[in-house]
Amino acid sequence: MTASRTAWLPRLVVAPSFLVGFLFIYGLIAWNGWLSVSASRLLPNYGFVGFAQYAALFESERFHVALTNMAIFGTLFIGGAMAIGLLLAVLLDQKIRAEGVLRTVYLYPMAISFIVTGTAWKWMLNPGLGLEHLMRQWGFESFTFDWLVDPDKAIYCIAIAGVWQSAGFVMALFLAGLRGIDDSIIKAAQVDGASLPRIYLRIVIPSLRPVFFSTLMVVSHLAIKSFDLVMALTAGGPGFATDLPATFMYAMAFSRGQIGLGAASATVMLATVAAIVVPYLYSELRTKR
Amino acid sequence: MTRFTWHRLVLWSVLLLFAAWFLAPLYVMIATSLKDMEQVRTGNILSWPTSPTFDAWAKAWGTACTGTDCGGLQPFFMNSVLMVLPAVAVSTSIGAINGYVLSKWRFRGSETMFAMLLFGVFMPMQVVLLPMSQVLGWLGIASSIWGLILVHVVAGIPSTTLFFRNYYVGLPDELIKAAMLDGAGFWRIFTRIVLPLSTPILVVTLIWQFTNIWNDFLYGVVFSGADSKPITVGLNNLSNTSSSVKEYNVDMAAALIAALPTLFIYAVAGKYFVRGLTAGAVKG
């Protein structure tokens, strides 16, 4: 009895949740793909229109703004978070007495919602009573900081708040990697007379390569999925100057009555994330065996 | 170490400078939330309130306007509590059982299924929004807390499964084999042997799911109705409600109210939260 039971029981137990999970992931991806080649506007309409929605998408000025913003925001967000995160991890690895406290401080933004972060930074960066007001009270009478309402500069505010939120996360990932490095290698190099910065540049950081790639992958997909922060900080404004693909998709699908266009932009996002994540997952699962 | 005092000075300055940068927004939020609007105008973002008051907190909780509705954040907070508790409990339980099977009862194809499920951790959720709102409509739970709970449970299964599976892989197989020789079956081994050893990963997963679901905005804004909006949507509506005078003190109090539950958990169990963060990215 046990032999036959052990054969089917585990499969039966996981079957419902896997079925629902696969339907949710792959079923809905396919369905969304179907919507993206349909004539849907305000309501789903399954008349096939080929790639017309994609053509319209790439002709849309607003989507071009979203893609340009994605490039600016992505570069600054990924670059900033990776650089600050790595710096903090290396510094914290120097046998700092208060490491636990500092680590807690660096990481707490990850525990709060991007909506909270956005609300806080919107207040600090607002041109009326925020940072500008502070600097003027401190005696810099002509100090102006109106990036948040400047269509050309507002995207940088989003990047600043994004880096603030995520740098600690990158630090935690790198610190975990640094802790995995054998101390004796560093000691041996020190005995050979190598200076500490040199040891880090030549030995420690190169050996972090796998951690570097997984961190890059995680931060990149966070950048592409960024939505909450923009909604809270600028809501895509002024106008649609700070739209990212995620906010573009939301606006088209849920407030502008352009379901087909929204679905097409979601598919573009999916393809971008898949291009980053699938090779990573593949190599990750390969090396495990 | 004393030879390196100069190095240490630079090191500490950089570390403390960054600590100040990370803490500044929290300080500004707390300071602003304790001011009245008069102090907000006369002071600056860094000044400590001259006469601290909790009026802004009371207003944010009970009477602030979000859109045309002036009931404060209280109803949104309650919605979030009602949503987050069942969603966390169910998604964590499913993850534990899935992880148990995928590590200790592997069958042909189970590894491939796991890899396919993992994509759900990373995919952009924009891709499921439109079809999912149709599905929720068919199920008759659109715009309700039940709909949100369902979405959070299903969307959480990939990461909870990943957490438990990677943890259970580290439990020795001999344990399971010995129990089987004693005649214990699938469920008995799970409840008597595996589950009692699961406390750390259980805490990690519960905290991870709680933080994620509490902080979620995307599902909240897309799938909720008038009476089921979670706290993040309430906060966003509150701070975007245009009135003649922008009450930043109320906004900051509201932001802190929305952040308190997850900040509290981070303060008491930060170690487990960090473990969850790294578990999602680095191989287990």
Q: Looking at B184-247, which runs of residues are DSSP E strands?
A: none
- Asked if A156 reaches chain B (Cβ–Cβ under 8 Å), the answer is no
Q: Tally Cβ neighbours within 10 Å of residue B5.
A: 8
pLDDT confidence band for B280 (50 / 70 / 90): low
**Boundaries of every domain in chain A:** 61-288
Q: What is the mean pLDDT of residues B223-237?
A: 92
- From chain B, the residues in CB contact with A132 under 8 A are none
- Asked if A160 reaches chain B (Cβ–Cβ under 8 Å), the answer is no
As a whole number of angstroms, the distance between CA A263 and CA B130 comes to 7
As a whole number of angstroms, the distance between CA B75 and CA B233 comes to 11
CB-nearest partner of A232 from B135, B236, B282: B236
Mutation site for A-interface testing, chosen from B77, B130, B138 by largest number of A Cβ within 10 Å: B130
- Asked if B116 reaches chain A (Cβ–Cβ under 8 Å), the answer is yes
- Asked if B226 reaches chain A (Cβ–Cβ under 8 Å), the answer is no
- The top-level CATH class assigned to A61-288 is mainly alpha
Rg value, chain B, Cα: 23
CA distance B215 to chain A (A): 5
Bridge partners, residue B224, by sequence: B143
Q: With an 8 Å Cβ cutoff, are A44 and B134 in contact? A: yes
Q: What fold, for B75-232+251-281?
A: MetI-like fold (1.10.3720)
CA distance A273 to chain B (A): 7
- From chain B, the residues in CB contact with A129 under 8 A are 40-41, 44-45, 248
Q: What is residue B283's predicted lDDT score, i.e. its pLDDT? A: 44
Token pair for A232: 């809270």
Q: What is the pLDDT of residues B95-123, one digit of tens each?
A: 999 999 999 999 888 888 998 998 898 89
CB-nearest partner of B274 from A107, A164, A284: A107
Q: With an 8 Å Cβ cutoff, are B128 and A24 in contact? A: yes
Q: Are A285 and B115 in contact (CB under 8 A)?
A: yes
Q: Give the global pTM.
A: 0.91
As a whole number of angstroms, the distance between CA B181 and CA B240 comes to 63
CA distance A203 to chain B (A): 20
- From chain B, the residues in CB contact with A131 under 8 A are 45
Mutation site for B-interface testing, chosen from A82, A97, A113, A249 by largest number of B Cβ within 10 Å: A113
Q: What is the pLDDT of residues B158-185, one digit of tens each?
A: 999 999 998 999 899 998 999 999 888 8
Q: What is the mean pLDDT of residues B187-199?
A: 92
Q: What is the pLDDT of residues A109-150, one digit of tens each?
A: 999 999 999 999 999 998 888 888 888 888 888 888 888 888
ipTM of model:
0.90
Q: Are B280 and B162 in contact (CB under 8 A)?
A: yes
Q: What is the pLDDT of residues B8-57, one digit of tens each?
A: 888 899 999 999 999 999 999 999 999 888 888 888 888 898 888 898 89
Chains A, B: CB contacts within 8 A come to: 273
As a whole number of angstroms, the distance between CA A254 and CA A251 comes to 6
Cis-peptide, bond into residue A44, ω within 30° of zero:
no
Q: What is residue A52's predicted lDDT score, i.e. its pLDDT? A: 87
Q: With an 8 Å Cβ cutoff, are A277 and B122 in contact? A: yes
- Asked if B30 reaches chain A (Cβ–Cβ under 8 Å), the answer is no
- From chain A, the residues in CB contact with B215 under 8 A are 112-115
Scanning A215-254 for CB atoms below 8 A from B yields 215, 217-218, 221, 224-225, 227-228, 231-232, 235, 245-246, 249-250, 253-254
The phi, psi pair for A85, rounded to 5°, reads -60, -45
CA distance B27 to chain A (A): 10
**In chain B, which residues fall in CATH 1.10.3720.10?**
75-232+251-281
- Cα nearest neighbour of A7 on chain B: B107
CB-nearest partner of B40 from A102, A129, A249: A129
In angstroms, how far is CA B248 from the centroid of its own chain? 25
Please determine, for residue A225, whether its predicted confidence score (pLDDT) is greater than 60. yes
Please determine, for residue A1, whether its predicted confidence score (pLDDT) is greater than 70. no
